[in-house]
Amino acid sequence: MCSVLLVASLGWPGGTSSSYGIQTETHEEKATNLKKQATGGLFQRWTFDQDHIHGLPDGFEQGISVDGLPATWAVQASTNAPSVPNVVAGSSICAQGCYQVLMAKELEYEYPDLSVRFYAPDGAGAGGLVLGARDAKNFYAAVVDPVLRKAQLIRISDGRGTLLAEASVNLKQVDWHSLRVQRNTIISKDFIEVYVDGTLVLSVEDQTLALGQIGLVLAGKSAMFFDSLHAVPLFSHRPLSSPPAY
């Protein structure tokens, strides 16, 4: 189920609104996964400043949603990074409909609050955050295209992208922008909210994907720098047991 609360749902070339066989969590699975969120290890902040230059950041793995040439992900030095001295640089030359991911290993979130700083040199392409990832072919992607000045929330299922929502964004006149994504639940509705430079731009109800990895993503042919990735578990308003019968 997917409904867009702020903007109309739009089609996406090569995809439909189906979940391609991905199953919704049962009530028991939901309760178990929510309890896992109350662990200190899920409160994470990555600045990449202690990672080796030219290598993947420690604790991350890369993947691609379709068959093709993998992206180049590497830690690089930067004198203007929000957190000096290092950033993560990503570069992809794959076609539209291809998504390159860099995901944190051995960390899964049911309802994450994610944020990252990003910089697109010469406005090259689109990129952002991954959440709810079962693998490199099944995840949510919240991406920003600085040239077209738009934000999109996309669900990738079996490697195929479905655009859940998009909106125009007013970017601040700065090199480094901020992207924040929250997935939360109230009663029986799961929703994802996307903020760009501190402004809420998208709010979408979707329950297709649940517990999963988080990380960074590039869409199509893109090049971006990322810094100061934060991940915090949100605690659900959903009851862990069924209400009593009256």
Q: What percent of the chain has pLDDT over 70?
A: 79
Instruction: Evaluate whether 164 touches 206 at the Cβ level (below 8 Å).
Output: yes
CA distance 208 to 10: 17
CA distance 213 to 241: 26
CA distance 31 to 138: 22
| Three-state secondary structure call for residue 243 | coil
Look up residue 69 and give its amino acid.
L
Evaluate whether residue 243 is within a structural domain: no
Evaluate whether residue 36 is within a structural domain: no
Residue 223, pLDDT > 90, answer yes
Which three-class secondary structure string do you get for 55-124? CCCCCEEEEECCCCCCCEEEEEECCCCCCCCEEEEEEEECCCCCEEEEEECCCCECCEEEEEEEECHHHC
Evaluate whether residue 73 is within a structural domain: yes
Instruction: Evaluate whether 145 touches 229 at the Cβ level (below 8 Å).
Output: no
Q: How many distinct structural domains can be found in the chain?
A: 1
Q: Quick one: pLDDT at residue 3?
A: 53
CA 141 vs CA 114, 153, 178: distances in Å: 12, 6, 15
Q: Quick one: pLDDT at residue 28?
A: 61
Evaluate whether residue 51 is within a structural domain: yes
Nearest to 198, CA basis, from 156, 157, 223, 169: 169
Domain that holds residue 175: 2-30+43-233
Residue 137, pLDDT > 50, answer yes
Q: What CATH number is given to the structural domain containing 48?
A: 2.60.120.560
Which of the residue ranges 8-12, 190-194, 201-205 would you say has the lowest mean pLDDT? Answer: 8-12
Evaluate whether residue 177 is within a structural domain: yes
Q: Is pTM beyond 0.75 here?
A: yes
Evaluate whether residue 239 is within a structural domain: no
Evaluate whether residue 245 is within a structural domain: no
CA distance 183 to 111: 5
The secondary structure of residue 15, as a DSSP letter, is B
Stretch 110-134: mean pLDDT, rounded?
Answer: 94
Evaluate whether residue 82 is within a structural domain: yes
CA distance 195 to 240: 28
Identify any residues that bridge with 111 across adjacent strands, giving them in sequence order.
none
**Structure confidence by residue, pLDDT tens digits, 142-189:** 999 999 999 999 999 999 999 999 999 999 999 999 999 999 998 778
